[in-house]
Structure 1
Amino acid sequence: MIAALLAAPTPDPTPTVSVDCREDAFCKQVYDLTGNAWLSESSFWIFIKPLRIILILLVAFLIRWIAQRMIKRLVRTSTRTSVPTILRPLRERIPSAPSASDQSAVMPERRRQRAEAIGSVLRSSVTAVVFSIAVLLILSELNFNLAPLLASAGIAGVALGFGAQSLVKDVISGVFMLLEDQYGVGDTVDLGEATGIVEAVGLRITTVRDGRGVLWYIRNGEIIRVGNKSQGWAMVIVDMPIGFAGVEEATSVMRAAAAEVAEDPDLAGHFVDPPDVLGVEQITVDGAVIRTIAKTTADGQFDVGRELRRRLTEALESSGITARIAATRMYPRPSTPNGEGETRGGAT
């Protein structure tokens, strides 16, 4: 009997399909119709898998195209009167903010540049997210085990985060700087150690050229405070000493000179409010100091300030007040030893 069992032919194993094929409706139907495991498996890997991968890529490109089209449309509408909330600076989102009524003076070109920078960041982020998900889905279709890959990516992300903290801080600060419109190209800013005109704004670095021509490269994460002298309006403040001359006379002369500056056709467009002589600001050993202020546009503050100082100086000189200031000053001189002269010392 044992010899008969050994002599009996061994039956061929029944071919079976993989679990993936059994779970797929098309592959299972091919196997049910033909009963051929090789044919059904081949159809699964030759037709089904490539079609799924192509479908994933098509959906990824479609989502990316739709998202970028929406972002471009958002950027185009940024230069119009109705601006999306995400592109408005924080001060414009608060109706009661002091500068909310002055936003008509904001240049469309500046807003367009800021919107394009934000749009570039959003487009890059959308592309990275969409295609990262697409790659993971394709690897899953190719039966790659994603658990170790995701775990390794998580560990690498944590290591990169610890090793590049300053870089991440700079980029995040740059994004918020763009969203809040803290400053832009061409603005005159005070960033602490560097004060000058902004020449370039990036997600990581801001470039500022100071009055001496030095070009400063400042990391956005290191900027603690920003003083922007080019947004909205500016206040020109001029303090003029008048000595011990009559305050009313000096105030009248200075008001007339300030009114002439406001009526100058070359400077009239720079004034937001007419200049005003406030009166005595302080008293020093040389006499009184009178303050004059003028609310101007951000671009015209320097021209108005220089012209206002020139006109006030000329007005005080032509009225004779400047001569009285010099006459009231006392210049000390060295004392003369006893016996060498009649004067013991003093001042004139």
Structure 2
Amino acid sequence: MNAFLEQPACAEERGTWCANVYELTGHDWLAASADWLIAKPLKILLILGIAFLIRFALHRVIGKVTTPPPNGESKSPALLRSLRERSSVLNSDTLAERRRQRAATIGSVLKSITSFVVFLIAAMLVLSELGINLGPILASAGVVGVAVGFGAQNLVRDFLSGIFMMVEDQYGVGDYIDAGEAEGTVETVGLRVTTLRDINGTVWYVRNGEIMRVGNYSQSYAVAVVNVPLAYNSNIDGASELLATVAQQVTGEDPVRAEVLEAPEVLGVTAMTPEYIQLRLTVKVKPGSQWMVQRALHGRITTALAEAGFERPMPRIFGGNNP
């Protein structure tokens, strides 16, 4: 009964948890421990509840910003439409797949970052409520972070490169790119690795941090370039007119016509070597179709030049005693 006879000093402070508990129970130990048994747990629960609410709200906002529209809708979140996509002539299926992968990756990264930041702040507030000194913990975390950063710097570089690549939309699913060591069609885009399939069917896994420069053949438009070598005694004006005529015919026929964006242009003589004079023809086409258009033009131009009597250059062979 002694516990009920001795009133703790904190019970004299009206409005405190200690005073309220002592008034209800008359127990000095419960009153003296009220701050630990009731106040601090309630504050911790409040901190955690607010943290979960903030995380939920941020995830909802991120989902709204990054989730592509349902099939059949033309509009899409502004975050997923880069400047190149707004003027892109990619087909709808390829563009939808690019947006879907970008949305999934960017959304996942943003949600992970927000969850980490929110729960880190909540954990620090909880530890502070428990009376734990955060100074040594933060110092130790800093040392561990530096050690991990040095040990996994390649992994960190891959992830950072992947994030910037995603945000800037340097390339996406369906693009044909030259990534330095590998060249091919992009099949998947991740934060750490980009997967390419080359013309031979080989799948290449390229680390994003190892990509120093990217040549994208599939953004906005492409140019089909046809170089035509002719002998020096050829009629250049006549050959140029013939190239223009054949190019107009080829680009006006199916299936090439559907891929052409602008009329073909004969640039004239672009190179002179000891063996031949080179004429160049260019056509602005949809991205990824330049090779098909080039093949069609090469075949028809070769036939037309042969029928018109133009001589194709022959390689010069030097004897061993010639100067």
Return the offset for 1:267: 1.6
Return the offset for 1:44: 3.8
Counterpart of 1:288? 277
- Which of 146, 149, 169 pairs up with 1:158? 146
Name the SS for the 1:325 alignment partner: coil
In the aligned structure 1, how far is the partner of 2:180 from the partner of 2:99? 25
Name the SS for the 1:285 alignment partner: coil
In the aligned structure 2, how far is the partner of 1:105 from the partner of 1:112? 15
RMSD: 3.3
Counterpart of 1:70? 61
* Structure 1 gap ranges (5+): 1-12, 93-98, 336-345
1:290–1:333: structure 2 CA closer, same or farther, 3 Å change rule?
closer
Counterpart of 2:209? 221
In the aligned structure 2, how far is the partner of 1:154 from the partner of 1:334? 73
Q: What percent identity do the matched residue pairs reach?
A: 43
Counterpart of 1:181? 169
Within a 5 Å distance, the mapping from 1:119-268 to structure 2 comes to 119-243=107-231, 244-268=233-257
Q: Deviations over 1:88-119 (max 9, x none)?
A: 54xx3xxxxxx698346583432332122111
Q: Deviations over 1:201-233 (max 9, x none)?
A: 221222223333333322222211111111110
Bigger radius of gyration among the two = 1
Counterpart of 1:301? 290
Return the offset for 1:87: 4.5
Q: Does 1:40 align with 2:31?
A: yes
Counterpart of 1:102? 87
Question: Do the aligned residues in 2 keep the contact of 1:184 with 1:198 (CA within 8 Å)?
Answer: yes
- Which of 244, 260, 272 pairs up with 1:271? 260
Name the SS for the 2:63 alignment partner: helix
1:320–1:104: structure 2 CA closer, same or farther, 3 Å change rule?
closer
Amino acid at match of 1:163: G
- Which of 312, 318, 322 pairs up with 1:325? 312
1:169–1:331: structure 2 CA closer, same or farther, 3 Å change rule?
closer
Amino acid at match of 2:267: L
Name the SS for the 1:124 alignment partner: helix
In the aligned structure 1, how far is the partner of 2:14 from the partner of 2:143? 33
In the aligned structure 2, how far is the partner of 1:256 from the partner of 1:198? 36
Counterpart of 2:49? 58
Question: Do the aligned residues in 2 keep the contact of 1:88 with 1:179 (CA within 8 Å)?
Answer: no
Question: Do the aligned residues in 1 keep the contact of 2:266 with 2:280 (CA within 8 Å)?
Answer: yes
* Structure with more relative contact order (C-alpha pairs < 8 Å, separation 6 or more): 2
Q: Deviations over 1:283-329 (max 9, x none)?
A: 233332211000011121121111111111121122222xx337xx5
1:330–1:180: structure 2 CA closer, same or farther, 3 Å change rule?
closer
TM-score, normalised via structure 1 length: 0.78
1:156–1:18: structure 2 CA closer, same or farther, 3 Å change rule?
farther
Name the SS for the 2:226 alignment partner: strand
Question: Do the aligned residues in 1 keep the contact of 2:173 with 2:187 (CA within 8 Å)?
Answer: yes
Return the offset for 1:240: 0.7
1:100–1:279: structure 2 CA closer, same or farther, 3 Å change rule?
farther
Name the SS for the 1:232 alignment partner: coil
Q: Deviations over 1:121-144 (max 9, x none)?
A: 101111111122222333333343
1:231–1:18: structure 2 CA closer, same or farther, 3 Å change rule?
farther
Name the SS for the 2:200 alignment partner: coil
- Which of 46, 49, 53 pairs up with 2:40? 49
1:148–1:310: structure 2 CA closer, same or farther, 3 Å change rule?
same
1:287–1:165: structure 2 CA closer, same or farther, 3 Å change rule?
closer
1:296–1:247: structure 2 CA closer, same or farther, 3 Å change rule?
same
In the aligned structure 1, how far is the partner of 2:147 from the partner of 2:312? 70
Amino acid at match of 2:66: V
1:334–1:57: structure 2 CA closer, same or farther, 3 Å change rule?
closer
Amino acid at match of 1:38: W
1:176–1:330: structure 2 CA closer, same or farther, 3 Å change rule?
closer
1:294–1:132: structure 2 CA closer, same or farther, 3 Å change rule?
same
Number of equivalenced pairs: 312
